[in-house]
Amino acid sequence: MLTSNRKTKEKVFFIGIGALTILIFIPLFHIIATVLIKGFPVIAERGTKFLTGTLSEGGIGPAIAGTFILTFLSALLGLPVAFLVGVYAYEYPKSTLGQWTKTLLQIMIEFPTILVGVFVMQVVAVPMGTYSALAGALALAIILTPYVAVYTHEALREIPSTYREAGFSLGLTRAKVVFRILAPMAKRGILTGILIGMAKVAGETAPLLFTAGGLYESYPSSVTKPVGAVPLLIYQLVQSPNPVDHATAWGASLVLLAIFLGIFIPIRLSLKEVRL
């Protein structure tokens, strides 16, 4: 009697926890399903024109180009700095700045992204007198950097210290041990950070609101001129009263989902391969 009561309690608890867990993921699957159901017919109806045409032609080509340019440019600006910051936090964990670096990176990850947008507007867009791809990419780079730095730091820390000792025992300088031995050993972890950071910025809207400007009737021609982005376009189209714009927004949502998953799925696959 006592035993069966205990087991019943355990069962109830187990089912309860399981149900709650599933509940949490319902929105995720609902979002994916809705985007597919509403977005797919739009793309199917308009065909390749949707992916390459301008907004008045019923397409989001310039926005897709803008998202790729912004993501690429932000990676170009952010990755080298982020990598070096991660290495610094790993190499000098006991120094005052090293200790602060870890804390500050954590804060940067959680920082409200719209504030980053406001900041970049102040220091880049206002002095330049125009929105630009450069300003948008800089805002995104600021968001990308802490992800890559934290992942770089963690990936290096996971390497057993015996490999570090081995590197030094060969008469290598600190720089060679870190950049030529440890960093290549940690490349999967670092790459994961890069991809997560890029997936994150590819879907960002808030930091672009006051920096990128938007460009949907022609393809971007210069990094110092305004540029569009898929999430930014969705944000603007949804506010329009026109049902055609709403349809375009659904199609754009599916494209954004595809871009995001296109970056994210390789991360999952590469994580499985990790072995030491």
Partner 1 sequence: MNFAIETVNLNVYYGQNHVIKGVDLKIPNRGVFALMGPSGCGKSTMLRTFNRLIELNEGARVDGEVRLFGENIYSGDVDPIEVRKRVGMVFQYPNPFPHLTIYDNVAIGLKLNGLVKSKEELDERVEWALKKAALWDEVKDRLNDYPGNLSGGQRQRLVIARALAMKPEVLLMDEPTANIDPVGTAKIEELLLELKEDYTIVLVTHSPAQAARVADHVAFLYLGELIEVGPARKVFENPEHELTEKYVTGALG
Which residue pairs from 230-235 have beta carbons closer than 8 angstroms and sit at least 24 positions apart in sequence?
Answer: 230/60, 230/63, 230/64, 230/66, 230/67, 230/255, 230/256, 230/259, 231/67, 231/203, 231/204, 231/205, 231/256, 232/63, 232/66, 232/205, 232/208, 233/55, 233/60, 233/63, 234/205, 235/205, 235/209
By CB under 8 A, residue 276 contacts partner 1? yes
Choice from 111, 119, 168, 235 touching partner 1 (CB under 8 A): 168
Choice from 187, 217, 265, 271 touching partner 1 (CB under 8 A): 187
By CB under 8 A, residue 11 contacts partner 1? no
Question: What's the rounded Cα separation, in Å, for the pair 84 and 82?
Answer: 5
CB of 177 to partner 1, least distance (A): 9
CB of 90 to partner 1, least distance (A): 13
Are 255 and 230 a contacting pair, CB within 8 Å? yes
CB of 154 to partner 1, least distance (A): 17
By CB under 8 A, residue 171 contacts partner 1? yes
- Whose Cβ is closer to partner 1: residue 12's or residue 274's? 274
Choice from 4, 21, 162, 239 touching partner 1 (CB under 8 A): 162
By CB under 8 A, residue 166 contacts partner 1? yes
The residues facing 179 across adjacent strands are none
By CB under 8 A, residue 165 contacts partner 1? yes
CB of 161 to partner 1, least distance (A): 8
By CB under 8 A, residue 94 contacts partner 1? yes
CB of 183 to partner 1, least distance (A): 10
CB of 276 to partner 1, least distance (A): 6
Nearest to 85 by CA among 69, 109, 67, 68: 109
Give the helix ranges, DSSP H, for the chain: 2-46, 48-52, 61-91, 96-110, 113-120, 126-128, 133-157, 161-169, 174-176, 183-185, 187-202, 230-238, 243-273
By CB under 8 A, residue 191 contacts partner 1? no
- Whose Cβ is closer to partner 1: residue 107's or residue 272's? 272
By CB under 8 A, residue 260 contacts partner 1? no
Question: What's the rounded Cα separation, in Å, for the pair 199 and 274?
Answer: 20
**Binding residues vs partner 1 (CB under 8 A):** 94, 160-166, 168-173, 176, 180-181, 184-185, 187, 275-276
